[in-house]
Chains A and B, each alone.
Chain A
Amino acid sequence: MKILIIGGGMGGTILANNLARRLHAELQDGKARITMLSASERHMYQPGLLYVALGRMMPDELYRDQRSLLEPQIDFHVDPVEEFALDRHQVRAKSGKTYPYDALVIATGSRIFPQGVPGLEEAAEFFYTEESALRMYKRLREFEGGRVVIAVGVPHKCPMAPLEITFMLHDYFKDRGILDKTQIHYTYPIGRTHSLENVAKWATPEFDRLGISYETLFNMKEIDVRGKVVHSEEGTDAPYDLLIAIPAHKGMEVIEKNGLGKSGWIPTHRHRLNMEGRDNVFVLGDTTNLPISKAGSTAHFEADALAENLAAMVKIGAPVRDYDGKVFCFIEAGKDRATYAMFNYQNPPNPKPPTKAVHWFKTAYNKLYWASARGLL
């Protein structure tokens, strides 16, 4: 069986390594083959960008050579796909080369789309690319107080990011001695301070305790860059001196161009993870249209389930497991405290009060991630 994985991010990499271990014998005797196509020779640990934006990690800590993360039997090429010919069971990549498959896995991820809100790209600081995270850090260093507005687009990668950046900014300003000259104003698209009800129940009194003001049912419509005001779809305004945004995301352009899914999200079966209408095309991570968090842990747990199923299809001709919607997210609650949320399609999360121990575990995970990507954790 020829298994072709498109995308060398967290989902694609964990899947490839997990599969290579399960199919060691089949890869040796030629019964299976794993090929990965990626747009980059480097692998980025994207959750680290939050820390880069606050000067707590350096950009070079976020990267590893992609080849070094992969099991040696995996055939890896830096050759981004341009055309998906699903009826012919092949893709054509930028090099002009065609790659055939028996099973295709699409894990191309997502990208920020600040252009969807007029003025946002020009006015706001954000931390979803290395360049923007560094720019944000330099802007924070120069900030001497004023009104800081956090504004959130939908959908966005890492649902905990709006809360994390808010709590971490609070501690950052406190450490710099400018908290008394700074008002942090948090806005959120729905009618409470976080989409997870139990997280909102914890976060709202924390905001009250820390003097962080908040406004719910606030969706960015446009930014008056000169007047420094965010106008919302709901008809309210948020004036700012410093605007920190979680921009809305889209799937990758190649997905939209090939007509695989609106806005780059591919319709995906929530348990089997196959593309709707295609038995031999699977989707992982941010690329799915599933109503669950766009987060690395989602890609990780989906990859675990899919690896088990693809290996079983090679060995016994049938899948063996359903993905249950499992997600696990750390939540940084400041510079030195954190909690976590774990949930699936059936069970909502119930986060505990933040502790230093969970923060240090998250800090350790920032390093342990590389073992996770290699499929060892």
Chain B
Amino acid sequence: MSTFIAFREGGQSVLKRIEAFFDALFGSAGNPWRHLGALGFYFAWLAMVTGIYLFIVLDTGIEDVYTSIEYYTHQQWWLGGIMRSIHRYSADALVAVMLLHLAREFFYGRYHGFRWFSWITGVPVIWLVYASGIGGYWLVWDKLGQFSAIASAEWFDWLPIFSDPATRNFLTPESLNDRFFSLLVFLHIGIPLLLMLALWAHLLRVSRPDVFPSRALGWGSLAMLLALALVKPTVSHGRADLAVVPTALDLDWYYLFIHPLMNLTSPAGLWVIAGGFTLLLLVLPLLPHRKQEPIAVVNPPNCNGCRRCFEDCPFTAVVMEPHPDKPGHELARVIPDLCASCGICAGACPSSTPFRSVEELVTGIDMPRQPVSALRGEMERKIAALAAAPKIVVFGCECAADARGLERADTAVMNLMCSGLLPPSFVEYALRGGADGVLVTGCREGSCAYRFGTQWTEQRLRGAREPHLRAANVPPERLRLAWADPHEGGGLEVALTEFRKHLQTLGADEKRPRAYTRRIAHYG
């Protein structure tokens, strides 16, 4: 098991470095590695849109299908030919990003716990993508389609499901008729529709799914496909002839690699490989994993039904229900199976403000492992214990670069389960409670283990999302953000050193928020 974990964590470490490199080129919003799923959707949409045009001009018949495709490939290359090439290459790119997405989610360990449903429902998506793509090759009915159709039939004939072998449909030129192609067209539309249904299920437990790449990434990808279509237009092999074996083939390895693999092994061997891979994906969530932290808990007397936790939850784990005692009001409820135990909801709760003077700070929705009250108490104690200036409070994140090692005589570190757990008012509270500066760190955007922790925190601190940081009370000079993934601990330390120097240049009273001391302090 330790080898398995080491393999996964090694892959994750490599991925994080690649993603950080691409952040510099594309920015996190446009970084293709951080939006592989969205790119997959994009390529699927492109394949569908171009497929609609190709369907309109396609003649379904043994002779007609090839002739019609040849016509729009060569005579109408400027429209039909380009459409065909984009259809082909977008489908190929879909496989590439789908497999990368699968690998990335695996290395990040996103296949168990509250994520099991999205992982399991992703498995049939792989089969449906392949079924859609392979069926498309048959439709062309050139030598490649002939090869693929016969090889597929040989593969399925191994299963005891046909009374008459499927291969007998392709024995001689007389075996086929026009109805076969009508069936193929139907399947090449029907299976992609099933794929859409499977993708809907795949995203069912994901709030605000990332299904559209950024505008820059979308245009860039389209331009790439267009350039590829012009430089290397997709062409057919020769017309299919069931009396002759296709010998040398320019194979689309993204989809059709299964045929050489079967010829290398056997139909049974390919079933073992495909079935074994599928089974492996399906059992991964069942392997022993680290136990999940206790989930979020709603405290009804402190929940005013503001819906912020409902809006911010990345996994649709919070639902709003009619308040049992207050007609016309709502109450948050946590669905245990969906909760990721990230704490983003607690950071969103307006009741999480530390300025409340109650002895026991109980918020509307809280995390049992890191209750807001305990965080306030810990912060008060740590600020009081700081012995050197400038006094800095670092809000760290357990999933990002480890901030705990930054603790010094002048630096207190609050290590949060997720940066999204930070109620923005804690920043103001720290500054008014004696800190000279606050540094907030967490995963890079797009790298957050809980999807939106970084994004929501940044928006809350910027004042673009509720609950927002009161900018009038917090001088921007005394707040700094430094997003850093786990391998970027050195960069985080540099950012802290620079911030420390910056704070030293500020006068003692310069732009300092008005001091505030809670009437009843835990440390007092």
A and B are interacting partners: no
